[in-house]
C-alpha cells in the first residue's frame, strides 16, 4: 500500500492538525514517507508522528487508497514500545478504570475535586493534563440495564455502551435502550469492557489487545447466536469493527465475526428503515440544529446514517458541519498539556460554524467531541439518539 | 438508501454529472474513493492542445476519429459544457476566461508554454501573446519547493521573453517548516502577508520596471481574484499565477467550486466510499458495493454514472500479468491486444502510446460496450477519464472531455 502513495499531498491539505501547527508536518511526511525509514530494531526516525490525532481524514481523502492513519498508529506504538508509555498517557488511556473509579456514590466528590482550579493546576503540573481540558462529569448512577432478558428469545440486540455512557452519560444509554425497544427488540447488555481505542491511540498495543480479546470473549456467544451488537459511541464501534483487528493483527474467526456483527446504532436503524421495519410514529420537531459527524464516524465509511434516519422527523432540519471538519479533541489527544491549544485551533472552524447557527443545541455522535464542542462554544450538545428518543416521545 | 442517480467518482466529470442530475430534481449520491484528481491538475480547462485554433482542429477530429469522446457526444455538448462551467465558476466568484475559438498558452512551472482554453482570472495576465509587452519578473518563495523562478525565467528567455527570476522573503512569523502550496495559499489569505509581499514586489518593479509578474499559483484559496487584484494595486504591475506541481491550489479551487455547488444543490457526497463491485440483473445495474469498516455497504439506484478516471485517477489498473481492469464495476476494457503493443518504441511518438487510449468503449449514449460492441448495462453512462479512444494528456483535452461527457451525459439519457 505504501507504493500507492504518489506524494500528491492531498492528505496534507485535508489534515486538520497540519493546517494549524508546524509541529505536525502532515500525514504524507510522517506516514508513507517516514515509513520507508522505519525498520524493526532501528530507532524511530521522527517523533512528530505523535502529533497525529488519529482522525483518519487522510485515509478518506487519499485518491489512491493508502491507509495513512494506520501507518501512523503503528509508528506511534513502535515509539511507545521503545520509549515506554508516560504515566499521563497510561492514565487517560485507561478510560475504563478512570470511569469505574469516578462514577458511583463518590461522583459528587470526584466532580467537586476536578472542578476545583487547584486540582486542575496540580494535574497539569504533575501529570500534563491541561487545566482547561474538557473533562466529563462522573455520574452518581452508572449506566446499567434494568432487567436482563435471556439470550435466544425473539428479536434481540446487544447494546455496547462504552466507557463514557457507563460512567458519564447514562442518559445516552437509556435513550438507546428505549429507541431499540420501540423497534421491538429486546436489548441485552452483557458484561463488556473498554473497546481499547484510547489504548490504541496512545500506543499501548499490548493493553489494547487484552481489552479487545476480553470483549470478543464477552460478545462471542451472542454473535454466535446471531444477535447483532449495536453501539452509540462511534469510536467504540469503529474499534470493534476495524481498528482493533487491523492494528493488532487479530484475524481469528471470533474476532472477524464480532467485527461483522457490530453496528453503529444509526447504521442499524437505517438498515431497519431500508427493510421497512423502522417505527415511523414520530412527532414533529420544529427545529434547525447543527449536526457534526465525528471523524471516527466518517471512518466507518457508511455515508450519513444519522441524516438518513432523522429525515423521517417532520420539521427537523439538520445543518451539517463543513466536510472534513474536526473538533480537535480526538479522544484523549486534546486533553494533553502540549496539545490542548492545538486541538482548540483544529476545532475553531467547527466551533464558529456551530456558534454562527445561533442554535443553543448541537448534535454529535461522539462523547469526547460533544464535550469539546460544549467546552469551546458553550452550546449544549446531545447524541442524535436522544433526539430520536424525544421524537418517539420516550 | 435508494437514489435516482449514483455517480462513482468526484472529479470534474462526476461532479458535472451530479450537478446536472440534481438540477433536474433527482436524488443524487456521489461515491468517491478519495478526493478527485483535480488537485493534481493546473486548474485550467484544457479542451484541445492544438495551437491557436482548437475549434477547427476539433471539427476535423470528430470526422476523422468517430470513437473519440468528443465525436460521440458532439461538439455542441462540449460547447454547452464550457458555457456552463463559466457560469458556475463566475457564480462562485472565481471567473474563468477564454474560449474554444482561440487557444491560450501560459507558462508552466518549468517556463514552457502550455495550451489550454479556459483559465482562471488569476492566470490570464500570463497569456503568451501579452507577455512580450515589456520586462517580466518571475518571483517565488524559497519555502515553496518545486518552484524555481530562475529556471522559469531562463526558459522563458530562451523563447524570447525578457524574463528575470527572483525570490521573495516570506514574512516572519509564518510557517517555516513544511510549506505545501496550500499552506502558502492560506498565508496569502492574511492581510499582513499580502501587504508585505506587495511591498517587496513594489521594490522590484521600481528597480526593474516590470510590467508583469508571474507568481506561483498559491495566491489564496478562497479569495484568489481579490488577492491578485490587491497585489496588482500594491506592486503597480500585472500579476499572474503559474500553476505549481501537485498539490495544485488552482486545481483545488476549481474542485471547491464544483463541490460547493454540488452540496448546495443537495447532492450527497460520500468521500472514502470506495466502490469495489457491482450487482446486476441482466443489462441493468441494480447496486454497487463500497468498502466500509468490517463489511461492504450496498447502494442502489435507478441510474449510474461511472466517473472514476483512467490510469491516473485509479479507474483503471493493470495487474502483474498485464491485464487491465476497470476497478469499480469490472467493465470490459478496450485496450491494445497484447502487452507488447502498449508502448511505441519512441518515447515521444507523434501518435502517443496505445496504452493511454485504453478505457471503456461506449455507444453514443455513453453506455459501456463489450468487445463485441454490445451494451453491458443500459442504465450506466461512462464519463471522463475512464473512456477509451483518447489520450487526455497528450491531446490536452482532460477537462474538455470531462465537461462534455459529464455535463452532456444527462441529455443522452433522458
ipTM score for this prediction: 0.93
Q: What does the pLDDT read at residue A323?
A: 83
d(CA B158, CA A337): 56
- Residue by residue, what is the 3-state secondary structure of A76-119? HHHHHHHHCCCHHHHHHHCHHHHHHHHCCCCHHHHHHHHHCHHH
Q: Which of A7, A13, A26, A323 to mutate to test the interface with B (most CBs of B within 10 A)?
A: A13
The answer, for A238 touching chain B at a CB cutoff of 8 Å, is yes
Reduced to 3 states (helix: H, G, I; strand: E, B; else coil), residue B126 is helix
Smallest CA–CA distance, residue A314 to chain B, in Å, is: 18
pLDDT at B97 over 70: yes
- Of A254-258, B36-40, B95-99, B355-359, which range is least confident? B36-40
Where does the pLDDT of residue A385 fall: very low under 50, low under 70, confident under 90, or very high at 90 and above? very high
Where does the pLDDT of residue A284 fall: very low under 50, low under 70, confident under 90, or very high at 90 and above? very high
Contact call for B293 and A308, based on CB within 8 A:
no
pLDDT at A391 over 70: yes
- Who has greater pLDDT, B13 or B36? B13
Where does the pLDDT of residue B100 fall: very low under 50, low under 70, confident under 90, or very high at 90 and above? confident
Q: What does the pLDDT read at residue A152?
A: 79
Q: What does the pLDDT read at residue B54?
A: 86
Q: A380-382 and A361-364: which strand pairing?
A: parallel
Neighbours of B288 (CB within 10 A): 25
**Could you identify the residue written with the cell 524570447?**
B160
Contact call for A301 and B273, based on CB within 8 A:
yes
Which ranges in chain B are annotated with CATH 3.40.50.10660?
109-242
Out of A8, A270, A302, the one facing B292 most closely (by C-beta) is A302
- State which residue of chain A sits closest to B317, comparing Cα positions: A64
Where does the pLDDT of residue A330 fall: very low under 50, low under 70, confident under 90, or very high at 90 and above? very high
Q: What does the pLDDT read at residue B111?
A: 97
- State which residue of chain A sits closest to B41, comparing Cα positions: A8
Q: What does the pLDDT read at residue A324?
A: 82
Residue B140 CB partners (closer than 8 Å, separation 6+)? B147, B148, B149, B165, B166, B167, B168, B215, B216
Where does the pLDDT of residue A329 fall: very low under 50, low under 70, confident under 90, or very high at 90 and above? very high
Contact call for B180 and A298, based on CB within 8 A:
no
Neighbours of B282 (CB within 10 A): 8
A225 pairs with which residues across the strands?
A: none
pLDDT at A130 over 90: yes
Q: Taking residues B74-95, what's their average pLDDT? A: 96
The H or E element containing residue A56 is none
Q: Taking residues A180-201, what's their average pLDDT? A: 95
d(CA B411, CA B414): 6
d(CA A179, CA B333): 48
Smallest CA–CA distance, residue B183 to chain A, in Å, is: 7
pLDDT at A146 over 80: no
Contacts of B272 in chain A (CB under 8 A): 59-61, 298-299, 301
Average pLDDT over chain A, rounded to an integer: 94
Q: Taking residues A197-213, what's their average pLDDT? A: 96
Task: Dump pLDDT digits (tens) for A37-47.
Answer: 887 777 777 78
d(CA A82, CA B322): 43
Q: Taking residues A75-92, what's their average pLDDT? A: 92
Smallest CA–CA distance, residue B66 to chain A, in Å, is: 32
Q: B104-107 and B113-116: which strand pairing?
A: antiparallel
Give the three cell numbers for residue A76.
506511534
Q: What are phi and psi of A67, to 5 degrees?
A: -80, 75
Smallest CA–CA distance, residue B316 to chain A, in Å, is: 12
CB pairs under 8 A between A and B: 104
Q: Which CATH fold topology does A282-391 show?
A: Rossmann fold (3.40.50)
Residue B337 CB partners (closer than 8 Å, separation 6+)? none
Contact call for B272 and A13, based on CB within 8 A:
no
Neighbours of A196 (CB within 10 A): 29
pLDDT at B180 over 70: yes
pLDDT at A64 over 90: no
Out of B178, B274, B292, the one facing A26 most closely (by C-beta) is B178
Task: Dump pLDDT digits (tens) for A333-364.
Answer: 999 999 999 999 999 999 999 999 999 999 99
Q: Taking residues A237-262, what's their average pLDDT? A: 97
d(CA B242, CA B239): 10
Question: Is the CB of residue A191 less than 8 Å from the CB of residue A218?
Answer: yes
- Which ranges of A135-204 would DSSP assign to H, the alpha helix? 162-167, 170-182, 197-201
Q: Taking residues B227-246, what's their average pLDDT? A: 97
Number of H helices, E strands in chain B: 12, 17
Contact call for B33 and A29, based on CB within 8 A:
no
Contact call for B270 and A303, based on CB within 8 A:
yes
Smallest CA–CA distance, residue A61 to chain B, in Å, is: 4
pLDDT at B407 over 80: yes
The answer, for A241 touching chain B at a CB cutoff of 8 Å, is yes
Which CATH architecture fits B109-242?
Answer: 3-Layer(aba) Sandwich (3.40)
Q: Structure pTM?
A: 0.94
Q: Which of residues 276-335 of A touch B (CB under 8 A)?
A: 298-304, 308, 323-324
**Could you identify the residue written with the cell 485515509?**
A59
Contacts of B301 in chain A (CB under 8 A): none
Average pLDDT over chain B, rounded to an integer: 94
Contact call for B271 and A259, based on CB within 8 A:
no
Q: What does the pLDDT read at residue B174?
A: 60
Residue B366 DSSP label = -
Q: B96-98 and B118-120: which strand pairing?
A: antiparallel
Q: Nearest Cα to A11, choosing from A75, A57, A65? A: A57
Burial pattern B71-80, b for ≥16 Cβ within 10 A else e, equals bbbbbebbbb
Smallest CA–CA distance, residue B414 to chain A, in Å, is: 27
Question: Is the CB of residue B13 less than 8 Å from the CB of residue B383?
Answer: yes
Neighbours of A93 (CB within 10 A): 25
Contacts of A64 in chain B (CB under 8 A): 34, 314
pLDDT at B176 over 70: no
Q: Taking residues A91-120, what's their average pLDDT? A: 95
Q: Taking residues B129-137, what's their average pLDDT? A: 93
Q: What does the pLDDT read at residue B319?
A: 86
- Of A113-127, A243-257, B344-358, which range is least confident? B344-358
Where does the pLDDT of residue B177 fall: very low under 50, low under 70, confident under 90, or very high at 90 and above? low
- Who has greater pLDDT, B51 or B196? B196
Specify the CATH class of B2-95+252-412 in words.
alpha beta
Which ranges in chain B are annotated with CATH 3.50.50.60?
2-95+252-412
Q: What does the pLDDT read at residue B175?
A: 61
B368 pairs with which residues across the strands?
A: B362
The answer, for A272 touching chain B at a CB cutoff of 8 Å, is no
Contacts of A305 in chain B (CB under 8 A): none
Contact call for B274 and A302, based on CB within 8 A:
no
d(CA B249, CA A60): 20
The answer, for A27 touching chain B at a CB cutoff of 8 Å, is no
Q: Which of residues 231-290 of B touch A (CB under 8 A)?
A: 246-247, 252, 259, 263, 268-274, 290
Amino acid at each position: 500500500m505504501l507504493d500507492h502513495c504518489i506524494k500528491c499531498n492531498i492528505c496534507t491539505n485535508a489534515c486538520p492538525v497540519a493546517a494549524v501547527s508546524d509541529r505536525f508536518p502532515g500525514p504524507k511526511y510522517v506516514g508513507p514517507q517516514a515509513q520507508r525509514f522505519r525498520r524493526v530494531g532501528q530507532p524511530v526516525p521522527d517523533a512528530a508522528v505523535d502529533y497525529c490525532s488519529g482522525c483518519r481524514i487522510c485515509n478518506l481523502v487519499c485518491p489512491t487508497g493508502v491507509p495513512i492513519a494506520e501507518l501512523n498508529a503503528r509508528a506511534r506504538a513502535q515509539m511507545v514500545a521503545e520509549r515506554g508509555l508516560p504515566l499521563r498517557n497510561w492514565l487517560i488511556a485507561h478510560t475504563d478504570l478512570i470511569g469505574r473509579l469516578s462514577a458511583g456514590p463518590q461522583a459528587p466528590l470526584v466532580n467537586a475535586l476536578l472542578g476545583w482550579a487547584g486540582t486542575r493546576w496540580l494535574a497539569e503540573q504533575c501529570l500534563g493534563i491541561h487545566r482547561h481540558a474538557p473533562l466529563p462529569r462522573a455520574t452518581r448512577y452508572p449506566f446499567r440495564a434494568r432487567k436482563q432478558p435471556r439470550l435466544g428469545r425473539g428479536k434481540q440486540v446487544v447494546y455496547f455502551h462504552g466507557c463514557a455512557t457507563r460512567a458519564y452519560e447514562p442518559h445516552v444509554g437509556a435513550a438507546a435502550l428505549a429507541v431499540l425497544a420501540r423497534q421491538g427488540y429486546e436489548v441485552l447488555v452483557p458484561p463488556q469492557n473498554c473497546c481499547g481505542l484510547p489504548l490504541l491511540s496512545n500506543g499501548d498495543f499490548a493493553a489494547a489487545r487484552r481489552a479487545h480479546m476480553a470483549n470478543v470473549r464477552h460478545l462471542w456467544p451472542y454473535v454466535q447466536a446471531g444477535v447483532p451488537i449495536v453501539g452509540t459511541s462511534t469510536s467504540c464501534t469503529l474499534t470493534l469493527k476495524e481498528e482493533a483487528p487491523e492494528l493488532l493483527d487479530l484475524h481469528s474467526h471470533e474476532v472477524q465475526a464480532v467485527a461483522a456483527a457490530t453496528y453503529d446504532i444509526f447504521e442499524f436503524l437505517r438498515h431497519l428503515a431500508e427493510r421497512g421495519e423502522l417505527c415511523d410514529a414520530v412527532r414533529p420537531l420544529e427545529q434547525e440544529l447543527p449536526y457534526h459527524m465525528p471523524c471516527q464516524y466518517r471512518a466507518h465509511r457508511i455515508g450519513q446514517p444519522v441524516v438518513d434516519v432523522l429525515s423521517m422527523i417532520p420539521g427537523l432540519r439538520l445543518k451539517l458541519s463543513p466536510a472534513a471538519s474536526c473538533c480537535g479533541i480526538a479522544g484523549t489527544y486534546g486533553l494533553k498539556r502540549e496539545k490542548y491549544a492545538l486541538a482548540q485551533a483544529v476545532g475553531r472552524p467547527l466551533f464558529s460554524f456551530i456558534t454562527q447557527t445561533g442554535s443553543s443545541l448541537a448534535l454529535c455522535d461522539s462523547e469526547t467531541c460533544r464535550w469539546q464542542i460544549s467546552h469551546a462554544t458553550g452550546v449544549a450538545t446531545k447524541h442524535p439518539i436522544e433526539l430520536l428518543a424525544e421524537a418517539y416521545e420516550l | 438508501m435508494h437514489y435516482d442517480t449514483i455517480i462513482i467518482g468526484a472529479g470534474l466529470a462526476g461532479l458535472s454529472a451530479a450537478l446536472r442530475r440534481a438540477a433536474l430534481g433527482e436524488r443524487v449520491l456521489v461515491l468517491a474513493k478519495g478526493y478527485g484528481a483535480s488537485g493534481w491538475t493546473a486548474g485550467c480547462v484544457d479542451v484541445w492542445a492544438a495551437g491557436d485554433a482548437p475549434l477547427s482542429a476539433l471539427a476535423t477530429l470528430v470526422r476523422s476519429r468517430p470513437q473519440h469522446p468528443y465525436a460521440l457526444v458532439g461538439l455542441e455538448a462540449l460547447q454547452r459544457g464550457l458555457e456552463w462551467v463559466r457560469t458556475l465558476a463566475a457564480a462562485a466568484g472565481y471567473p474563468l476566461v477564454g474560449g474554444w475559438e482561440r487557444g491560450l498558452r501560459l507558462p508552466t512551472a518549468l517556463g514552457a508554454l502550455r495550451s489550454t482554453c479556459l483559465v482562471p482570472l488569476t492566470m490570464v495576465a500570463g497569456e503568451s501573446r501579452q507577455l512580450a509587452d515589456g520586462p517580466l519578473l518571475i518571483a517565488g518563495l524559497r519555502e515553496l519547493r518545486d518552484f524555481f523562478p530562475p529556471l522559469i525565467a531562463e526558459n522563458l528567455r530562451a523563447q524570447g521573453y525578457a524574463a528575470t527570476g527572483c525570490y521573495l522573503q516570506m514574512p516572519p512569523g509564518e510557517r517555516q517548516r513544511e510549506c505545501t502550496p496550500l499552506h502558502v495559499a492560506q498565508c496569502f489569505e492574511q492581510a499582513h502577508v499580502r501587504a508585505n509581499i506587495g511591498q517587496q514586489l513594489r521594490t522590484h518593479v521600481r528597480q526593474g520596471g516590470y510590467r508583469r509578474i508571474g507568481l506561483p499559483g498559491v495566491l489564496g484559496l478562497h479569495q484568489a481574484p481579490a488577492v491578485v487584484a490587491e497585489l496588482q494595486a500594491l506592486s503597480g504591475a500585472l500579476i499572474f499565477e503559474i500553476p505549481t506541481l501537485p498539490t495544485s491550489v488552482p486545481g483545488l479551487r476549481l474542485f471547491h467550486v464544483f463541490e460547493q455547488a454540488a452540496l448546495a444543490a443537495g447532492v450527497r457526497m460520500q468521500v472514502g466510499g470506495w466502490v469495489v463491485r457491482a450487482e446486476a440483473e441482466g443489462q441493468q445495474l441494480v447496486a454497487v458495493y463500497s468498502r466500509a469498516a468490517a463489511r461492504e455497504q450496498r447502494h442502489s439506484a435507478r441510474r449510474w454514472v461511472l466517473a472514476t478516471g483512467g490510469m491516473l485517477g485509479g479507474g483503471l489498473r493493470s495487474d502483474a500479468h498485464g491485464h487491465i481492469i476497470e476497478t469499480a464495476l469490472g467493465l470490459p476494457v478496450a485496450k491494445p491486444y497484447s502487452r507488447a503493443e502498449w508502448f511505441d518504441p519512441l518515447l515521444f511518438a507523434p501518435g502517443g502510446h496505445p496504452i493511454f487510449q485504453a478505457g471503456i468503449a461506449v455507444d453514443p449514449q455513453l453506455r459501456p460496450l463489450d468487445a463485441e460492441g454490445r451494451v453491458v448495462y443500459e442504465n450506466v453512462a461512462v464519463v471522463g477519464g475512464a473512456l477509451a479512444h483518447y489520450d487526455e494528456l497528450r491531446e490536452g483535452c482532460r477537462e474538455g472531455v470531462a465537461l462534455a461527457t459529464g455535463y452532456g451525459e444527462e441529455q443522452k439519457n433522458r
